[in-house]
């Protein structure tokens, strides 16, 4: 590999660890990454990037599962108290916490894209001496929020890569776009950035994740496979309340509509084309024993091995929900609060990455393909780039983990930080100098 990239990445180790620990201290769930994004914007500007953020990179109509205005305001205030830059935060109104930075070498070449997610989980971090972040004083300071999936590491790796690229700028070609995405958890954020057009000119796109089923630093999977397409639905049935003894016929029963829907949703046909899933995860209804229930709420998700299979389940689900409302003469409101597509990585790009990975010191096991681990809204970036003639893949960087993803005792081996930067720096160098634009 390029010795300068290796040296730059190795030299960043302490900075990366400190950065990841700072982010770990101040976790922010989806659409509330005000402090995190403000720090990202600042750092990228200092490095000389052209930085776009807020409504420039987030299409409001395509945002899914945005917290209530009260929750946004609370988190925004907290971010400012924890050191976020007020001028930057002011441009992220309504939760538009996405950031995209461009490094333009001025020389002809391809446009590369890298996506890093920044959000935390709704998890209360373990507070016991065996949990390293707590023992070493960098556990979450934000109640109910924790970086329990490694997105703090992703953000740190993204900023480390940004620094390395500046260090070798004179040897790069084309343009490099670094995308920092909010709200990956619940698959809510990617669509809004893709619809804002942030990757429409990208020829080669990479997304990364640490850990998943790769539990050793040094393992690199260059093409994550098996993305399940999914849709998350919040459903509200609204009927008319009435006295259950005195005048039941005057009521319109929202509970019965929801119950009818729940049973029939689970009766949606299997599909010969591949795996599908449906789950009615919650059903809350009614207000009292002697009242015809006028309100029912459900949280539902559909999944499919491909986007088409998920669409099949989702479309049937809509018909059943509407049909159940019609039967019981109630209103139904269906809100899509999250979604991810299926899709396949571009095999030839994954193979190129595998060749590059084998030249990086510290990388000990290289797989061209491996399981991506469920649903990921990176699939929106992948699909858009591929639709427009580009190539995209999803990289998994192995790390030891202290407990499973989304667990209160989750922690990583921080050696993955400099190794990730080293690998992605080399990928940027090799792709930018050897590959042509795809269009
Ligand atoms: Zn994750």
Check residue 3 and give its pLDDT.
Answer: 97
* Distance between Cα 196 and ligand 1 center (Å): 22
Q: Are 237 and 254 in contact (CB under 8 A)?
A: yes
Whether 163 is in a domain gets the answer: yes
* Distance between Cα 149 and ligand 1 center (Å): 5
- 325 plus 393 within the same structural domain: no
Strand partners, 111: 175
Strand partners, 428: none
- 236 plus 264 within the same structural domain: yes
Check residue 439 and give its pLDDT.
Answer: 82
- 204 plus 65 within the same structural domain: yes
Q: Which helix (H) or strand (E) holds 134?
A: helix 132-135
- 256 plus 210 within the same structural domain: no
* Distance between Cα 223 and ligand 1 center (Å): 16
Residues whose CB is less than 8 angstroms from the CB of residue 97 and which lie 6 or more positions away in sequence, other chains included:
31, 32, 33, 34, 36, 37, 53, 58, 118, 182, 183
Alpha helix (H) residue ranges in 12-120: 13-25, 34-46, 69-81, 86-90
- 328 plus 352 within the same structural domain: no
Whether 137 is in a domain gets the answer: yes
Q: Return the ∠ at Cα 34 (arms to 380 and 179), rounded to 5°.
A: 35
List the domain range (segments joined by +) for residue 326: 229-340
Whether 182 is in a domain gets the answer: yes
Closest to 229 measured CA to CA, from 261, 183, 275: 275
CA dist 164 and 10 (Å) reads 10
* Distance between Cα 246 and ligand 1 center (Å): 53
Whether 169 is in a domain gets the answer: yes
- 151 plus 23 within the same structural domain: yes
Give, in order, the Cα–Cα distances in Å from 146 to each of 11, 121, 153, 283, 402.
Answer: 28, 5, 13, 27, 14
* Distance between Cα 50 and ligand 1 center (Å): 27
* Distance between Cα 150 and ligand 1 center (Å): 6
* Distance between Cα 88 and ligand 1 center (Å): 25
* Distance between Cα 373 and ligand 1 center (Å): 10
* Distance between Cα 20 and ligand 1 center (Å): 15
- 16 plus 106 within the same structural domain: yes
* Distance between Cα 244 and ligand 1 center (Å): 47
- CATH number for position 33: 3.40.630.10
Alpha-carbon dihedral of residues 37, 43, 46, 48, nearest 10 degrees?
Answer: -80
From 318, 340, 362, give the residue that closes a domain. Answer: 340
Q: What share of the chain is helix, strand, coil (3-state, %, to 5)?
A: 40, 25, 40
* Distance between Cα 107 and ligand 1 center (Å): 35
* Distance between Cα 118 and ligand 1 center (Å): 9
* Distance between Cα 185 and ligand 1 center (Å): 7
- CATH number for position 313: 3.30.70.360
Whether 439 is in a domain gets the answer: no
* Distance between Cα 117 and ligand 1 center (Å): 8
Check residue 165 and give its pLDDT.
Answer: 98
* Distance between Cα 209 and ligand 1 center (Å): 7
Whether 355 is in a domain gets the answer: yes
Beta strands 370-371 and 219-221 are unpaired
- 294 plus 332 within the same structural domain: yes
- 408 plus 278 within the same structural domain: no
Whether 316 is in a domain gets the answer: yes
pLDDT tens-place values along the chain, 439 residues long: 999 999 999 999 999 999 999 999 999 999 999 999 999 999 999 999 999 999 999 999 999 999 999 999 999 999 999 999 999 999 999 999 999 999 999 999 999 999 999 999 999 999 999 999 999 999 999 999 999 999 999 999 999 999 999 999 999 999 999 999 999 999 999 999 999 999 999 999 999 999 999 999 999 999 999 999 999 999 999 999 999 999 999 999 999 999 999 999 999 999 999 999 999 999 999 999 999 999 999 999 999 999 999 999 999 999 999 999 999 999 999 999 999 999 999 999 999 999 999 999 999 999 999 998 789 999 999 999 999 999 999 999 999 999 999 999 999 999 999 999 999 999 999 999 999 999 8
- 152 plus 11 within the same structural domain: yes
Number of domains in the chain: 2
* Distance between Cα 372 and ligand 1 center (Å): 11
* Distance between Cα 375 and ligand 1 center (Å): 10
Q: Are 99 and 40 in contact (CB under 8 A)?
A: yes
* Distance between Cα 366 and ligand 1 center (Å): 21
- 183 plus 86 within the same structural domain: yes
* Distance between Cα 280 and ligand 1 center (Å): 23
- 261 plus 367 within the same structural domain: no
* Distance between Cα 156 and ligand 1 center (Å): 14
* Distance between Cα 332 and ligand 1 center (Å): 32
Check residue 346 and give its pLDDT.
Answer: 98
* Distance between Cα 398 and ligand 1 center (Å): 13
* Distance between Cα 153 and ligand 1 center (Å): 10
From 314, 340, 366, give the residue that closes a domain. Answer: 340
* Distance between Cα 11 and ligand 1 center (Å): 27
From 340, 360, 381, give the residue that closes a domain. Answer: 340
* Distance between Cα 326 and ligand 1 center (Å): 39
């Amino acid at each position: 590999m390029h010795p300068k990239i290796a040296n730059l990445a190795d030299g960043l180790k302490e900075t990366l660890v400190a950065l990841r620990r700072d982010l770990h201290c101040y976790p922010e769930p989806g659409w509330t990454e005000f402090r995190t994004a403000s720090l990202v914007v600042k750092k990228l500007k200092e490095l000389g990037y052209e930085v776009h953020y807020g409504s420039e990179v987030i299409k409001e109509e395509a945002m899914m599962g945005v917290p209530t205005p009260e929750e946004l305001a609370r988190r925004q205030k907290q971010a400012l108290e924890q050191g976020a830059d007020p001028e930057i935060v002011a441009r992220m109104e309504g939760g538009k916490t996405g950031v995209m930075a461009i490094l333009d070498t001025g020389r002809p070449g391809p446009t590369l894209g890298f996506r890093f997610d920044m959000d935390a989980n709704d998890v209360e971090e373990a507070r016991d001496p065996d949990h390293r972040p707590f023992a070493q004083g960098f556990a979450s300071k934000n109640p109910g929020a924790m970086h329990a999936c490694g997105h703090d590491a992703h953000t740190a790796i993204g900023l480390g890569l940004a620094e390395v690229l500046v260090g070798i700028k004179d040897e790069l070609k084309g343009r490099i776009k670094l995308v920092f995405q909010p709200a990956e958890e619940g698959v809510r954020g990617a669509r809004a950035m893709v619809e804002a057009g942030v990757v429409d000119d990208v020829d080669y796109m990479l997304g990364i994740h640490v850990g998943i089923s790769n539990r050793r630093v040094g393992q690199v999977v260059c093409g994550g496979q098996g993305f399940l397409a999914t849709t998350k639905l919040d459903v509200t049935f609204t009927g008319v309340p009435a006295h259950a003894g005195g005048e039941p016929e005057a009521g319109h029963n929202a509970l019965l509509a929801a119950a009818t829907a729940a049973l029939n949703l689970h009766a949606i046909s299997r599909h010969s084309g591949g795996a599908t899933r449906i789950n009615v995860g919650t059903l809350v209804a009614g207000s009292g024993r002697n009242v015809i229930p006028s309100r029912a709420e459900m949280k539902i998700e559909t999944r499919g091995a491909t986007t088409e299979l998920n669409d099949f389940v989702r479309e049937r689900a809509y018909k059943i929900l509407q049909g159940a409302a019609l039967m019981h003469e109630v209103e139904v409101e269906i809100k899509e609060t999250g979604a991810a597509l299926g899709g396949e990585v571009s095999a030839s790009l994954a193979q190129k990455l595998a060749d590059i990975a084998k030249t990086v010191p510290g990388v000990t096991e290289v797989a061209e393909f491996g399981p991506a681990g469920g649903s990921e809204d990176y699939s929106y970036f992948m699909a858009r780039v591929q639709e427009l003639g580009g190539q995209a893949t999803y990289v998994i960087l192995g790390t030891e983990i202290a407990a499973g993803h989304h667990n209160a005792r989750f922690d990583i081996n921080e050696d993955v930080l400099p190794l990730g930067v080293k690998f992605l720096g080399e990928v940027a160098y090799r792709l930018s100098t050897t590959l042509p634009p795809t269009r």
